[in-house]
Amino acid sequence: MDVSSPIVMGILNITPDSFSDGGRYVSPDDAIKRAKQMDDEGASIIDIGGYSSRPNAEDVSEQEEMDRVIPIIEKLSQETDRPLSIDTFRSRVADESIKAGASLVNDISAGSDDVNMISTVAKHNVPFIAMHKQGQPSDMQNNPQYSNVLEEVYSYLKHVIDKCKSSGIDDVFIDPGFGFGKSLTHNYQLLNQLHRFKSLDVPIMIGISRKSMIYKSLNIDVKDALNGTTFLHAFSLNNGANILRVHDVKEAMECVRLFGIINENV
């Protein structure tokens, strides 16, 4: 996957309770329509998730997660040339999703919640997006603590990269995990030092779209968080982000295009 220039990953949540778009795309027809819209708007990847990882989200069974995502992946793989990503921490869901047509795995636990995840990804020889989180969705925002958030997240991701490479995964991407066991201060410390992660020599994905680090900081509702999201996307691009994982593809693509124009005229 070419990320020499920044790209956009469109979020497609097949869930009733995701924090921003929960319930909007639970019907297959609505999900397919939304995926095609993101495709038309310029998304390079469609990221499909059937398990909400927002703070305090309800647990769902492995079978229910697969029942949500597999039919969508099968249908989309026949109707778009865009790579499809499966957003899951479960190796069986990843395995069945790849068989159905997914070509990336996006794991919020970086393989730590399922001991078979890394070997499953290696078996299929697909890219792996490894994210840092502290705790589980049910408790991760209950007073997260770090001695030095940058050093701890960096060290964790470096360890994961080494483990993935030694297991045979050729393409590893990293995600610092904004909002996953981090306070507002932790999130902005990581964002401010994002360029430090470039020394890990793997692509960096940023998932900040409409998150509480934006709307709580501005004292607004999540529905009004697009402008703040766009600003932080631009900041991230300027500090080394390779992939923007977003709800609003059109606006993110405008950031990417303007960022490219700036670089062309340096």
Sorted by sequence, the CB contacts under 8 Å of residue 25 that are 6+ apart come out as 12, 13, 14, 31, 34
Q: Which of 256, 246, 255, 250 is nearest to 11 (CA)?
A: 246
Active site residue 211: yes
CA distance 203 to 197: 9
Pick the catalytic residue from 99, 211, 223, 257: 211
Q: Which of 176, 183, 243, 232 is nearest to 209 (CA)?
A: 232
DSSP one-letter code for 57: P
Query: Pairing mode, if any, of strands 172-175 and 104-107?
Result: unpaired
Pick the catalytic residue from 68, 90, 210, 245: 245
Active site residue 92: no
CB atoms within 10 A of CB 32: 18
Tokens 């507002």, located at residue: 184
Catalytic residue positions, numbered: 211, 245
